[in-house]
Amino acid sequence: MIGVLIVDDERLTRELHRQYVERLPGFRVVAECAGARAAVTAVLESPPEEGIDLVLLDMTMPDGHGLDVARHIRARASDVDIIAITGVRDADVVRQAVALGVAQYLLKPFTFATFRDRLEQYAAFRAKVSDVEGQATQAEVDALLGSLRPPASVDLPKGLSPSTLDRVAGAVRSSGPLSASEAGEALGMSRVAARRYLEHLAEQGRVDRESRYGTPGRPETEYAWRR
């Protein structure tokens, strides 16, 4: 389990981020802080059993800047990872965050789907790091760095909407494998429409197609989320 520290001066924001984290397998919230000083203390002085691996860090707080939090953490040689979650869009702040080893920079507001994708990218990065031993090859280095980059946006085929695509993807992720009929019934849409979205997800490499046997007639295609 990846232990998460949530740092934000807004109580409602902390609650929202905690709910998001709790919906993700493999992650758990181990602590929350409302300010910069408390965040530094939590990271540097928390007992090992709390297991803080990742800090979700706001950039603007009444008692300090998120960049200062990151500097203090790095100055003490802490290897905890940081994802900035902020409304600050200043390019110089982004540059400094990257220089301090911030793994992701996520701008508010965002959807759960975006939050989920960024944390799953981070989890994939950690998994790849643990798999690489000794001297890494160039391909392994490229794979490590690439796992933290958001996928390039892809224009949807005509007639597909991003919001519905996200709903279909969420249904397969949480309840799959699903056939087009099952997805359509669960989401209140036709089998044909559901199949278009499922086929698009398959073409993008996000789901796998498999034939489902055991029922009379032709085998049915089911779609499973690609882990």
Q: What is the pLDDT of residues 3-61, one digit of tens each?
A: 999 999 999 999 999 999 999 999 999 999 999 999 999 998 877 667 899 999 999 99
Indicate the number of domains in the chain: 2
- pLDDT at residue 161 tops 70: yes
pLDDT tens string 70-118? 999 999 867 899 999 999 989 999 999 999 999 999 988 888 888 998 9
Q: Which of 146, 176, 203 is a domain's end point?
A: 146
Judge whether 177 lies within some domain: yes
Give the CATH number, domain containing residue 191.
Answer: 1.10.10.10
Same domain (yes/no): 167, 114:
no
pLDDT at position 151: 58
Look up the domain containing 20 and give its range: 2-146
| pLDDT on residue 133 | 67
Contacts of 200 (CB under 8 A, 6+ apart): 156, 157, 160, 165
Whether 151 is covered by a domain: the verdict is no
Query: pLDDT (tens digit, 9 = 90+) per residue, 174-209?
Result: 888 999 999 999 999 999 999 999 999 888 888 899
Q: Determine the Cα–Cα distance for residues 152 and 176; give it in Å rounded to an integer.
A: 25
- Compute the distance between CA of residue 103 and CA of residue 83 in angstroms, rounded to an integer: 6
Q: Is residue 197 part of a domain?
A: yes
pTM of the model: 0.66
Q: Does position 153 have pLDDT exceeding 60, yes or no?
A: no
CA distances from 72 to 39, 67, 184, 192 (A): 10, 9, 51, 55
Asked whether residue 8 is domain-assigned, the answer is yes
Q: Looking at the structure, do residues 104 and 176 belong to the same domain, yes or no?
A: no
Predicted confidence at residue 129, as pLDDT, reads 79
Report which secondary-structure segment, H or E, holds 109.
none
Mean pLDDT lowest for which of 18-22, 133-137, 153-157?
153-157
Whole-number Å distance between alpha carbons of 173 and 188:
17
Q: Assess if residue 48 is contained within a domain.
A: yes
In a domain, 205, yes or no: yes
In a domain, 140, yes or no: yes
- Asked whether residue 152 is domain-assigned, the answer is no
